[in-house]
């Protein structure tokens, strides 16, 4: 998003940064979308679906650790937001495939960049967590 000077946008939600260009009345919806696409399961589902449509069981296998309930909820929410399609085929047994929409594909490179960044830096982050966990916490009153 493009940041704008709040002098130009008196209705902006924040004074600077990417939120400065977003009208205050839109911020709740923007936060909802960020919550959805920033969810760990949504990120992984979007990343996996870039390779092409997948059946439910294949999708579950490709996203390690996701429960059936969470996968169902995640694909339903991504479908609701127009990021994923669900196609049911009239076959016996029934076949259902999930795929990214053009909107979902437009998000893919951002998702994979974030996942790659986490993979590249997890060791450093783990060290910082371990370091801060072993330091005593002093609270001043």
Which pLDDT does position 13 carry in this prediction?
A: 60
Choose from 8-17, 19-28, 73-82, 106-115 the range with maximum mean pLDDT.
73-82
Which pLDDT does position 12 carry in this prediction?
A: 59
Q: What's the CATH number of domain 18-134, 3.90.580.10, 1.10.10.10, 1.10.260.40, 3.30.565.10?
A: 1.10.10.10
**Average pLDDT value over all residues in the chain:** 85
The answer to whether 104 touches 52, Cβ cutoff 8 Å, is no
**What's the pTM?**
0.75
């Amino acid at each position: 998003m493009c940041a704008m000077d709040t002098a130009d946008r008196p209705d902006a939600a924040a004074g600077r940064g990417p939120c400065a260009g977003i009208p205050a009345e839109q911020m709740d919806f923007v936060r909802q979308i960020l919550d959805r696409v920033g969810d760990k399961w949504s990120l992984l589902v979007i990343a996996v679906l870039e390779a092409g449509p997948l059946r439910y069981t294949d999708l579950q296998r490709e996203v390690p650790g996701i429960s059936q309930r969470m996968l169902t909820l995640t694909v339903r929410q991504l479908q609701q937001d127009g990021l994923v399609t669900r196609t049911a085929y009239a076959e016996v047994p029934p076949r259902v495939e999930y795929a990214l929409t053009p909107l979902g594909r437009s998000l893919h490179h951002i998702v994979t960049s974030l996942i790659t960044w986490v993979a590249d830096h997890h060791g450093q982050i783990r060290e910082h967590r371990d370091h801060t966990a072993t330091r005593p916490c002093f609270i001043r009153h």
